[in-house]
Chain A
């Protein structure tokens, strides 16, 4: 009896392994968050589009994704069926948490989606342009309080980069970290702080309702839905995007990596993925392969530098 059971188990295991195109996607966050929903959307679309027969999602939350990343790097090495979702937040978290495992220990495949970070003030504020805000910061950095997400996150990094680009000492910025975009938004709406910084999607409904004004967006190009200028065109050399990506296991052969890249490419260009992006209000910022790797390397370098300047990383 026992042998029969074991035999059946092996048969099932062999049968599952026979699907060459199965994937296990790790979401290095708890169920319900952004990375989790990215992983689950990938799962849905991959199956629906016939890219993979069976896709599983595994949640390993903790420390800005670094707990999941560390587990992935060690347990998935050389396995082409394992993927991990990640994002720009991870770049910062790896540095601030002094994580022993970094994005160099996995194989980045592609950037899938992203969002601009926007700088906004309450409608009643006397600050009309991003220049007004920067001038105020130059005169007295402490008098400009910024409400944004957690310390060392993309919001904080963007304020640091802006200060540096404008010639203000980044250690002198008065950044007030709030837990979650909701609380920060409430602080801005309630006139508790001078300015706010968060994902542009959180501000757009407020702008529409006339309670808030976006002064600038962080991406290289202007963002749909707002006529706010970019930081670049306002004269500050800052370009940041809060992106989400998919990466594969370390130690893949070139053929294995090419196969994963091809699958993700099929996915990113599929109608199902485009429909999913539209329904979730995610922007398509697809960038794959060598171009993405080069971009990533540049961002890691810039982020490391600014986190040192702000004083979050020694």
Chain B
């Protein structure tokens, strides 16, 4: 049978009413749990996996796919409405999405996220079905030096998330990089910045930092305003639907996000967070409204949301073709597949085509189901913002601590949550952006490790970094992206020094 016939057969199986019902239950459960701050897709899938145990293979496979997509999407809902991203891939969504929500445009923000996730999920799942064996060959070309070059590119593009002051953005980034050095250095086993505290040896959990800085920091900041906030939150201003202009601006962003997300997700050391950073940077550069970034630009929600969903489908490429679980979510999915008797590996497409195509068909159906469920729900989600502040924030803190307690209920971990919460408050107070801190924590160790791996393999020869066309090109693009705006600024204003030294506001 050809690829296409397999897919049609899979879709045929998935179209039965009972199966569709399972998909709906899966999506609903996934969204409901994934919506809680601090509980990202990996934990959502882990928590809900047992729910699928009792069903027949086709039913449990589709419910599983539904949980997965629901968990992915649920996280973006709270990021947009409440500024509480619970996982690294939703951080940039919160940047623009929450600004939109505060301006009463939460409806369109949620809609562009939902439709963008759908479009990206659709494109990426189709790409998975037809291109996986080719994509994986490309992904394996990436060794440590190529990853290092990619990280450099990611560093340069996230400067787009710096806000208006380069000094403050860099400061935030370096705070994140500094926090990233805490713990055991994975290449040598050397403990760094842990001062003999065993709980610090594992370093700082990205989820803990993100939940603390965003959810707790925001809560403290709002609470401490004596005169109340000037920007009174309006739940809905204008339509909850996207306008024609919103559509026009979202489409290209969805497509670009999908194109960035899928290949990055397919790389064994890529991941949805890097894809969303790169997408955000790209959108800011390509936008006709760059001045809106930081104040609620819809492209800044549409692109990264599409990218992180496409990347999530992308991680299935190494998982299904090589048996490589490259993210925490993928590792848990692997455990899920094994209960269906599906042993991912290089021969999977050849040995168990029904199961693979069943899974791919399930992903497509679950993706449609997600849209069907969530578009009508948007008008209810935005009502979250109408909950009076005391109850809303008390509830947020309850769930924010729940995520941490559920994973690691140690006093050290919870104390870190509190300390970083107050740090997040302080940074907000003086206008330092939050996202670069978390970005530094994520990208810092990756870049450091890949650099040291590359140099170790080349036995200390630095020219290895530009020894392949791919790594040289990526580094070249990163350098251009860094230098060109500087030159333009120098020629345009002659103010580059003051920009670096003390820009504010």
Contacts and interface: CB of A to CB of B under 8 A. Distances in A.
B318 A62 contact: no
A88 to B, nearest CB: 15
Interface string A174-201: 1011111011011101101100000000
B343 interface: yes
B202 A61 contact: yes
Interface in A122-156: 142-143, 145, 150-152
A77 interface: no
A182 B267 CA distance: 11
B346 A211 contact: yes
A70 B198 contact: yes
A59 interface: yes
Interface stretch (A29-37, A79-87, A112-120, A256-264): A29-37
Nearest to A143: B459
A40 to B, nearest CB: 10
A255 B347 CA distance: 51
A209 B318 CA distance: 14
Which bucket holds chain B's interface residue count? 35 or more
A205 B457 contact: no
B457 A177 contact: no
A62 B268 contact: no
B408 A37 contact: no
9 contacts: A32-B42, A32-B332, A151-B185, A174-B457, A185-B322, A186-B268, A205-B323, A205-B343, A208-B347
B278 to A, nearest CB: 20
B140 A190 contact: yes
Contacts of A208: 345-347
Max chain A Cβ within 10 angstroms of own Cβ: one of B144, B189, B331: B189
Max chain A Cβ within 10 angstroms of own Cβ: one of B140, B191, B332: B140
Given A182-B268, A211-B346, A67 B198 contact: yes
B142 interface: yes
Nearest to A99: B198
B143 interface: yes
Contact of A66 (B198, B322, B326): B198
A151 B144 contact: no
Contacts of B268: 182-183, 185-186
Contacts of A176: 144, 187, 453, 456-457
Contacts of A187: 143-144
Given A190-B140, A192-B144, 7 more contacts: A59-B408, A66-B201, A142-B459, A177-B186, A183-B326, A186-B140, A281-B338
Interface of A: 30-32, 37, 59-64, 66-67, 70, 96-97, 99, 142-143, 145, 150-152, 174, 176-180, 182-183, 185-187, 189-190, 192-193, 202, 205-206, 208-209, 211, 279-281, 312
A179 B449 contact: yes
B328 interface: yes
Contacts of A190: 140-143
B410 A205 contact: no
A62 B202 contact: yes
Given A187-B143, A209-B346, A67 B187 contact: no
Contacts of A281: 338
Given A32-B331, A186-B139, A192 B457 contact: yes
Contact of A186 (B318, B328, B449): B318
Max chain A Cβ within 10 angstroms of own Cβ: one of B142, B202, B345, B457: B457
Contacts of B343: 205
Interface string B108-141: 0000000000000000000000000000000111
A151 B187 contact: yes
Contacts of A179: 186, 449
B325 interface: yes
Interface string B319-363: 000111110101110010010000111110000000000000000
A63 B324 contact: no
A31 B407 contact: yes
A26 to B, nearest CB: 13
Contacts, number: 128
A183 B143 CA distance: 10
A97 B326 contact: no
B186 A151 contact: yes
Contacts of B143: 187, 190, 192
Contacts of B335: 32, 37
B504 interface: no
Contacts of B322: 185-186, 189, 206
A311 B391 CA distance: 55
A145 B456 contact: yes
Nearest to B140: A190
B457 A193 contact: yes
Contact of A205 (B186, B325, B347, B456): B347
A32 B187 CA distance: 23
B199 interface: yes
Contacts of B189: 96, 150-152, 312
A182 B187 contact: no
B25 interface: no
Nearest to B188: A151
Contacts of B46: 31-32
Contacts of B167: none
B184 interface: yes
Given A62-B408, A190-B142, A193-B457, A205 B346 contact: yes
B255 interface: no
Contacts of B457: 145, 174, 176, 192-193
A180 B407 CA distance: 20
B341 to A, nearest CB: 9
B472 interface: no
A60 B325 CA distance: 24
Contact of A174 (B269, B332, B459): B459
A61 B408 contact: yes
A223 to B, nearest CB: 17
A274 B222 CA distance: 56
Ranked 3 nearest A-B pairs via Cβ: A205-B345, A209-B346, A192-B143
Contacts of A31: 43, 46, 407
A182 B453 contact: no
A62 B198 contact: yes
A150 B186 contact: yes
A179 B325 CA distance: 12
A30 B406 CA distance: 10
Contact of A178 (B330, B346, B453): B453
A32 B407 CA distance: 10
A32 B328 contact: yes
